[in-house]
């Protein structure tokens, strides 16, 4: 069985984070794309949602750059507990919730100026019934974005392949910026990282006003 098939299963991630105690960022850390982020989101007043946060310290770093309105969600309670502990250690309050991003369409609409995804969409590509889940997730992201809001997607998938899935008229958004970023050498064996993987793609996608 292809091990990647497990990455779309919430139970896999709950087990994966059982013994993890330190922050880990999928693909790239914030410093690798912060210049582009600051260019597109200069005010610091943006309401930001990070989907599939895992144990990333992205929210802590954003708070350090005076972005106070950050919410993080992940389907794994173990990951959420670790992330909450990181905030306590750093004496910061961040809204962190165990929540399945597939249910974003059930939330209040037009809440966020920014939605960040660093690897979560890639997990849905590995899931059973992946096309349905991808559509459900992207519909939810569009739903919670304010008009003019932006979806920051970081993915290891093929650039054109991801564009074909994401840039559909039904989501009411369009590509605003893109960048290819070299991946660091990952010495820990970790899910989502495949042999020969050398780069990821960052897309900034803007919802219609």
Task: Assign residue 17 the CATH number of its domain.
Answer: 3.40.50.150
Sort residue 150 into left (φ over 0), alpha (ψ -120 to 50) or beta.
beta
Q: What's the pLDDT score for residue 2?
A: 55
Q: What's the pLDDT score for residue 192?
A: 62
- Outline where the chain has alpha helix (H): 10-16, 34-40, 58-64, 77-89, 120-125, 130-144, 159-166
C-alpha distances in Å from residue 181, one per residue of 35, 129, 137:
13, 29, 24
Residue-wise burial string across 50-87, b where 16 or more C-beta atoms lie within 10 A, e elsewhere: bbbbbbbbbbbbbbeeebebbbbbbbbebbbebbbebb
Q: What's the pLDDT score for residue 1?
A: 46
Q: What's the pLDDT score for residue 195?
A: 60
* Number of domain units in the chain: 1
* CA–CA gap between residue 80 and residue 96 (Å, rounded): 7
Residue 177, domain extent: 3-207
pTM of the model: 0.93
Instruction: Report the relative pairing of strands 112-118 and 48-51 from DSSP bridges.
Output: parallel
Q: What's the pLDDT score for residue 23?
A: 86
Q: What's the pLDDT score for residue 187?
A: 44
Per residue of the chain (209 residues), give pLDDT as tens. 456 678 889 999 999 999 888 888 889 999 999 999 999 999 999 999 999 999 999 999 999 999 999 999 999 999 999 999 999 988 888 999 999 999 999 999 999 999 999 999 999 999 889 999 999 999 999 999 999 999 999 999 889 999 999 999 999 999 999 999 998 765 445 566 666 678 899 999 999 98
């Amino acid at each position: 069985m292809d091990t990647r098939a497990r990455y779309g299963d919430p139970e896999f991630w709950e087990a994966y984070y059982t013994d993890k105690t330190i922050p880990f960022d999928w693909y790239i850390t914030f410093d690798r794309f912060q210049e582009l982020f600051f260019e597109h989101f200069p005010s610091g007043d943006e309401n930001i949602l990070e989907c599939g946060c895992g144990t990333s310290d992205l929210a802590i770093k954003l708070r350090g750059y005076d972005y106070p309105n950050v919410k993080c969600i992940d389907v794994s309670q173990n990951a959420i507990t670790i992330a909450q502990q990181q905030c306590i250690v750093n004496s910061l309050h961040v809204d962190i919730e165990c929540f399945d991003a597939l249910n974003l369409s059930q939330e209040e609409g037009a809440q966020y100026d920014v939605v960040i995804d660093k690897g979560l969409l890639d997990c849905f590509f590995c899931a059973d019934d992946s096309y349905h889940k991808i559509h459900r997730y992207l519909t939810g992201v569009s739903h919670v974005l304010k008009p003019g809001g932006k979806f920051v997607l970081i993915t290891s998938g093929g650039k054109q392949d991801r564009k074909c899935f994401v840039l559909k008229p039904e989501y009411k958004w369009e590509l605003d910026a893109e960048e290819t970023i070299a991946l660091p050498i990952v010495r820990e064996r970790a899910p989502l990282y495949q042999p020969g993987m050398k780069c990821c793609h960052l897309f900034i996608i803007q919802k219609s006003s």
